[in-house]
Amino acid sequence: MVMTKKTTQGRKKIEIKKIENLSNRQVTFSKRRVGLFKKASELCILTGADIAIVVHSLGKRVFSFGHPTPDSVIDHFLNGGGPEGEEPRENCPTSKTRDYNRHYSEVCRELEVEKKRKEVIEEAKRVECYGGGGEFWWDEAVEGLELEELEQYAAALEELMKNVTMRADDLMLIHSSNSLPPPPPAIPNSDMEEAAAALVEQNQLSSGFDYGNCIVPHGFGQGQL
């Protein structure tokens, strides 16, 4: 089978003349402006040249491109290109802008990392407190869990049980301390002496033994008692 080569019209050469259609003219301006700035940027990178481009649109808007900056290139041109119009590369605004852009990129990356970390923490808290459908996580079915997930689930249950037991012990201790009866009121010393004397007298009457007339053993005087 003979393959026939597809023929195309190829790239047509656009006639350089003013575009009469206003809408097409604006679209062409936007595309060509971007292309112009891109080519200028490539030229700066390849050759290290200082370039300044200033473009006025149909709507009287001004667009500019410059390396290091449009102002520095224009000032250099107005000063005749002498050394007095040049700025050290390390002090030029473009160098500072690159540093700012690099710092901005680093901050953006750190911000994305923190956002993801926050999402992980919030998701972990949600899973810890509630399962799907507003249920507690320990009410979820475990049939579909893998071995590693089951081990984590069992460890979480043990931790939960330990926390519940500690909390229950604390509550029982507080309840028992609140339910103890109050201590008896203190008895004054004089009342205690009277009560003791009455108790001794009652014992003497009940036993019929006269402690005052008892016989002291031989050899024991009153001073030895």
Return the percentage of the chain with pLDDT > 70, whole number.
56
| pLDDT for residue 16 | 81
The dihedrals phi and psi of 56, each to the nearest 5 degrees, come to: -105, 130
Burial (CB count within 10 angstroms: exposed 0-12, middle 13-18, buried 19+), residue 51: middle
Place 85 in a pLDDT band, splitting at 50, 70 and 90: very low
- The type of residue at 221 is G
132-146 CB burial, b ≥16 within 10 A, e <16:
eeeeebeebeeeeee
Please state, rounded to an integer, the average pLDDT across all residues of the chain: 72
Residue 112, number of CB atoms within 10 A of its CB:
10
Lowest-pLDDT choice from 97-101, 127-131, 139-143: 127-131
Torsion sign across C-alpha atoms 87, 89, 94, 100: negative
Mean pLDDT (whole number) for 28-42: 88
Return the percentage of the chain with pLDDT > 90, whole number.
1
- Residue 70 CA from chain centroid, whole number: 43
* pLDDT for residue 205 is more than 50: yes
Place 187 in a pLDDT band, splitting at 50, 70 and 90: low
Strand-pairing partners, residue 54, are: 64
Contact 68, 50 (CB under 8 A): yes
| pLDDT for residue 220 | 46
| pLDDT for residue 150 | 82
Place 225 in a pLDDT band, splitting at 50, 70 and 90: very low
Cα–Cα distances in Å, from 217 out to 49, 69, 209, 214? 135, 129, 17, 10
- Whether the model pTM is above 0.75: no
* pLDDT for residue 36 is more than 80: yes
**Distant-in-sequence, close-in-space partners of 58: CB < 8 Å, separation ≥ 6:** 22, 25, 26, 29
What is the C-alpha separation between 209 and 60, in angstroms, rounded? 134
* pLDDT for residue 129 is more than 70: no
Residue whose token pair is 């700066």: 44
| pLDDT for residue 158 | 87
Q: What is the 3-state secondary structure (H, E, C) of 99-142?
A: HHHHHHHHHHHHHHHHHHHHHHHHHHHHHHHCCHHHCCHHHCCC
Place 97 in a pLDDT band, splitting at 50, 70 and 90: low
Copy the structure tokens of residue 71. Answer: 């102002």
| pLDDT for residue 110 | 86
* CATH code given to domain 22-87: 3.40.1810.10
Burial (CB count within 10 angstroms: exposed 0-12, middle 13-18, buried 19+), residue 124: exposed
Residue whose token pair is 């575009």: 19
